[in-house]
Amino acid sequence: MSTPLIEARKVTRILPGIVPTTLVRDVNLTIGTRDFVAITGPSGSGKSSLLYLLGLLDVPTEGEVLINGRATSQMHEEERALTRLSFLGFVFQFHFLLPEFTVRDNVMLPMRALGRLSPREMIERADALLASLGLGDHRLKRPDQLSGGQRQRVAVARALANEPPVILADEPTGSLDSKSSMQVFEVLHSLVEEHGKTVVAVTHDMGLAERMHRHVELLDGCILADQAHAGT
Amino acid sequence: MSLVFDIAWTHVRSRVRQTGFAIAGVATGVGFSIMMASLMQGSQDDFTRRLVNTLPNITVSDERRAPPQQPAEKLYNVAELHGLTPEARRPGIKNPLATMAALEAWLPGKIAPSVKVQAIIRYANHDLATSITGIDPNREALVSDLPKQMRGATLTALYRATNAIVVGDRLADKIGARIGANITLQTSVGTRLSAQVVGLFHSGVRQIDESAAYVLIKTGQILAQQTGLINELRVRLADPLASREIAARVESDTGYKSVSWQEANEDLISTFIIRNIIMYTVVGAILLVASFGTYNIISTITHEKARDIAIMKSLGLPEFTVRSIFVVEALMIGIAGALAGFAFGYVLCLGLGSIRITNPFIDSDRLPLVYEPLHYLLAGAVALVSSVIAGYQPARKAARQHPVEIIRGAT
């Protein structure tokens, strides 16, 4: 068992309202170093909700999410933001790049927000990340000048900007064709294999899920199965 | 901070037309504020300057602010006395030369003695109530601008004829008198004197130009039927704004009623205060309306950029940073609007200053305008503050958005 980077302990998330909706119910999950985890399940099963809870984008109604062994429920919003910035990288189904900024500027955004590198180091790092993802020639373009797969790879580069140990991906291939999906999957896979990152990805694509190291299946907000397999 | 500035600048720059309108709104507010302040201040300063220049800064008269205690009141220790006839008092300031010398010893200004007499001027079937002041032409320049206000002659012309008189130009117009005309002066004590108009003056204050006249002290004393009478000391100070305090000290030293120009024109000065309140209210309203434009654009940007806000927050940008982005955008609009407003206000003032007007209450044929940096600073500061306030509310709302809701909506 890897060292736990993220741990969910009896996590429940209920959306308040006239009819409260339970998104995630009593989930226990441990994510360790170099884990390559697929979260699958039918629509409305709570996959993305669980990912947002693990990524501190949402707060559990009950239970606790621990990051590096530290409970997060009592964290101040600013501290949660800083944890996201330095410890977690997000990739969403849509690239969500800032349209007015260049590719390089988008990748530099988390670095600038964290403010630990000099401008020159930020540029060098952004360019190196883009080059490693095959986007070296596109760094000065704007997102609307790239294909869907390229944009998603830029989003991956942005997620890696502050060298977080964990990448959380919410259907990263959901809006891509099969070729681009494969490219993005390979990038995520290489992050685990070559760079020692932990990747947790929500996906509908059972083919991709089967190729990941671990497969967590959700149904109605509960974990139905959590199994490790050989991977790719 | 540069990240905040970069994002803010990108947002503002990518909406040229909307931003332009917001800036134009602020600029209009600032420009008109500056113009109004310039005009209001200009007219007020112009009027005050004429008051200060035309009238003595302090007038010491032979009156007492409180009636002197009657002998019976001193004699009998009772609560109230009825039917007393006040003790007859010889008019005039006692020992005027000694009083002047005592005041000149400490007072930061100049003093001139004069005799004030109320009379009726008669000429060509016109009877006009007039305030006649007997002056010393050689000392007059020390306490008023009368020598500079003379038309057609100098003040020394008073020496050229027996019973010479200098009258206000509007008064002369009213009775149809010209220089050289012989007019009749009739006082309440029964003196009737024929005097020759040797000059006219124009102070620019209508009330004075229509009803004032100057003679030599000696002529004034003849009109008052009292040899050696000095019933007024007129004072001009080095700092006219200190008149109120110095007048109080003069009054306590001499016992005579001592009235500063501010006290004499209290009603006008209070009118200025009301006028300024109205001006600042109108200016505030203009800038408030302009800030609605800023509010509108920041609201629009935050609405359009909801997804970007969500992604920035999900990446880990704190609420403060996200809020700062939109506050800085509002500030940019405010600064650009204020700068454009400065130029617009200046041009408006130039334009207004070039308009020829004919107004009987204004001496000049141009509007009195003041180019005061303070007006620019104030209008700019109010514009900036109102822009930031206008931008803060949508910025706060934007920064508080829950990223999950927006990301879910977007997907």
| Residues from B in contact with A at Cβ < 8 Å | 2-3, 6-7, 10-11, 14, 307-308, 310-321, 402-404, 407-408, 410-411
The pLDDT score that the predictor gives to residue A69 is 87
Average pLDDT over residues B124-135: 92
Residue B359 has pLDDT above 70, yes or no: no
Domain span holding position A192: 4-228
Residue B300 has pLDDT above 90, yes or no: no
Q: Which of these, B181, B187, B184, B186, lies nearest to B199 by C-alpha position?
A: B181
- Report the C-alpha gap between B281 and B20 in whole angstroms: 26
Quickly tell me which residue has 């704004």 as its tokens: B241
Averaged confidence pLDDT in chain B: 86
Prediction ipTM score? 0.83
Q: By CB neighbour count within 10 A (0-12 exposed, 13-18 middle, 19+ buried), where does B238 fall? A: exposed
CB contact under 8 A, B407 and A92: yes
Of A81, A90, A96, the CB nearest to B318: A81
Helices B319-353 and A77-87 cross at an angle (nearest 10°) of 110
Of A84, A113, A170, the CB nearest to B321: A113
Of B6, B316, B403, the CB nearest to A110: B316
- Report the C-alpha gap between B155 and B171 in whole angstroms: 17
Averaged confidence pLDDT in chain A: 88
CB contact under 8 A, B317 and A100: no
Measured between alpha carbons, how far is residue A156 from residues A184, A227, B3 in Å?
8, 26, 21
CB contact under 8 A, A48 and B408: yes
Q: Pairing state of beta strands A88-91 and A166-170?
A: parallel
The pLDDT score that the predictor gives to residue A230 is 59
Average pLDDT over residues B46-65: 82
3-state SS, chain A, equals CCCEEEEEEEEEEEECCCCCEEEEEEEEEEEECCCEEEEECCCCCCHHHHHHHHCCCCCCCEEEEEECCEECCCCCHHHHHHHHHHHEEEECCCCCCCCCCCHHHHHHHHHHHHCCCCHHHHHHHHHHHHHHCCCHHHCCCCHHHCCHHHHHHHHHHHHCCCCCCEEEEECCCCCCCHHHHHHHHHHHHHHHHHHCCEEEEECCCHHHHHCCCEEEEEECCEEEEEEECCCC
CB contact under 8 A, A90 and B410: no
CB atoms within 10 A of CB A162: 21
Q: Write the CATH number for A136.
A: 3.40.50.300
Could you say which residues from 66 to 105 on chain A have a Cβ atom under 8 Å away from some Cβ of chain B?
77-78, 81-86, 88, 90, 92-94, 96, 98, 100-101, 105
One pLDDT digit (tens) per residue for chain A, 232 residues: 455 889 999 999 998 888 888 999 999 999 998 899 999 999 889 998 999 999 998 899 999 999 988 899 888 888 999 999 999 998 887 778 888 889 999 999 999 988 889 999 999 999 998 998 888 899 999 999 998 888 988 998 998 899 899 999 888 877 777 777 888 888 888 888 888 889 999 998 888 888 889 999 999 989 998 888 754 4
Q: Pairing state of beta strands B182-187 and B192-201?
A: antiparallel
Domain total of chain A? 1
Prediction pTM value: 0.70
Residue B88 DSSP code: P
- Report the C-alpha gap between B309 and A158 in whole angstroms: 16
Instruction: Provide, as residue numbers in chain B, all residues whose Cβ is less than 8 Å from the Cβ of A158.
Output: 315
B271 band by pLDDT with thresholds 50, 70 and 90: confident
Distance from CA of B316 to the nearest CA of A (A): 4
8 A C-beta contact, residue B70 and residue B204: no
B364 band by pLDDT with thresholds 50, 70 and 90: low
Q: Which of these, A226, A183, A230, lies nearest to A210 by C-alpha position?
A: A230
CB contact under 8 A, A85 and B321: no
Contacts of B207 (CB under 8 A, 6+ apart): none
Distance from CA of A230 to the nearest CA of B (A): 31
Residue B366 DSSP code: B
